[in-house]
Structure 1
Amino acid sequence: MAEHLMPLICSPWLYLIVFAAVAVDGFLPIVPSEAAVIGLGALSASGSPDVSGLVVAVVAGGMTGDRVAYLLGRKTGGRFRGRRLAAARDRAERALLRHGAAAILIGRFLPGGRTATTVTSGQVSLPPGRFCLFTGLAGLAWAAYTIGLGRLGGARFADSPLLAALFGIALGTAFTVVQAFVDRRRAARRPALPSSDPEPVSMS
């Protein structure tokens, strides 16, 4: 199997695929970009793919996806429906009010936080210059985090790229589970949000 994957790993097209996956994950969070980047980070420990090219693709993809989410937020103007979506938007808005644009950097590492903060940034008309600055910083920090996890696995299992990738993904999953647990505990301590009408999302 590795022999069939190696031509893609060594191809320049890989960086375009990574760029697209990370970008789409910013406004349509169904693409498992984190696991893919961690796995590629593990493989980069052996020389391919090139780690600098991987960083550029991840940061550029992250900024592009965040920009699309921001524009969607400007267009919808907060016309989201549904209890879970309303709760996510409320948390993101509180974070933006408390931390300003730095909430984009914080949200990048929270489950569901990336899309919530970038869409809400558009809804509250965060200045585009500050938005781009902090999405760039968030993308760079996230690239260092995910690729670093992969390379940690690559160093631990230098003779087995598959085990290296799985080790990095397992670490990333463990961190995500802990973050989700802490976020839920914090949410449970806050006053209950007013219930909203659980209608479908309206993008018009």
Structure 2
Amino acid sequence: MPDDERLPMRHVLDWVVAVMRALGAPGVGVATAVESVFPPVPSEVVLPLAGYTASQGHYGMIPAIVAATAGSLAGAYVLYYLGAAWGRDRICAAADRVPLLHARDVERAIGWFRRHGPAAVLLGRMVPGIRSLISIPAGIDRMPIWSFSIYTVAGSSVWNSALIVAGYELGAQWHHVEGYVGTVSNVIYIGLGLLVIGFVLRRLRRRAQGSSGE
């Protein structure tokens, strides 16, 4: 990361630590909500840091996971309704004015959603660069809010738990978690690919059965 990007990130992380230590587990929820709304703040840094802070006795690990998931849902709602209200073009234009964020990041999330539908909301919560922004195309396409909420909580709870527990167990070495995230993301990409292949095969099978029945 260039030096001009490291400095604001350092300030953000200092603020995250201060909030977590001052508010306890609810501070994890606040930090996660902010991370969800402002994707340049990476969850693969914030969540292990939350786990490390829990290991120091500032709050319990389970309350941290619950608060993080609640924060993820709150932040997801903000981006969902922003997508619904603004639409694709205005969101992309705004993204280019946000530090460390670009319109292509939003376009990537939209592409994911269009290709994978609800599975993108579930599994996209576990892919850096997608997990926050996937809420925007869900809002643009007016995905049912109850379905959006269920998939968001399911995906976020798995992701938050994994990273917070990793940070808790690694302690002062929590920052190493970020290096392992890419491997997890690749596994999820493969899972999504298999889901798409399965969907296509089912559609082809049904079409073949329909043709043979005529």
Which stretches in structure 1 are left out of the alignment for 5+ residues?
154-163, 184-204
The whole-number CA distance in structure 2 between the counterparts of 1:133 and 1:50 is: 25
| Percent identity for Structure 1 against Structure 2 | 27
Map of 2:198 onto structure 1: none
Between the two structures, name the one with larger relative contact order (CA 8 Å, sep ≥ 6): 1
Q: 1:89 to 1:33 in 2, by over 3 A?
A: closer
Map of 2:155 onto structure 1: 138
Contact kept in structure 1, 2:24 and 2:58, CA below 8 Å = no
Look up the SS of the partner of 1:44 in the other structure: helix
The whole-number CA distance in structure 2 between the counterparts of 1:20 and 1:27 is: 11
Contact kept in structure 1, 2:122 and 2:154, CA below 8 Å = yes
Map residues 41-190 of structure 1 onto 2, 5 A cutoff.
Answer: 41-45=51-55, 47-79=57-89, 80-81=92-93, 85-153=102-170, 164-165=171-172, 167-171=173-177, 173-176=178-181
The whole-number CA distance in structure 1 between the counterparts of 2:158 and 2:105 is: 22
Instruction: Give CA deviations for 1:91-146 in whole Å, capped at 9, x if unaligned.
Output: 32332233221212322222221232111111111111111011111220121111
How many pairs does the alignment contain?
Answer: 164
Paired letter, 2:174: G
Look up the SS of the partner of 1:175 in the other structure: helix
Look up the SS of the partner of 2:59 in the other structure: coil
Paired letter, 1:133: I
Structure 1 vs Structure 2 CA RMSD? 3.1
Look up the SS of the partner of 1:64 in the other structure: helix
Contact kept in structure 1, 2:52 and 2:168, CA below 8 Å = yes
The whole-number CA distance in structure 1 between the counterparts of 2:112 and 2:124 is: 9
Contact kept in structure 1, 2:37 and 2:132, CA below 8 Å = yes
Q: 1:100 to 1:180 in 2, by over 3 A?
A: closer
The whole-number CA distance in structure 1 between the counterparts of 2:39 and 2:103 is: 17
The whole-number CA distance in structure 1 between the counterparts of 2:44 and 2:86 is: 27
Map of 1:156 onto structure 2: none
Contact kept in structure 2, 1:27 and 1:69, CA below 8 Å = yes
* Bigger share in helix: 2
Paired letter, 2:167: G
The whole-number CA distance in structure 2 between the counterparts of 1:129 and 1:150 is: 31
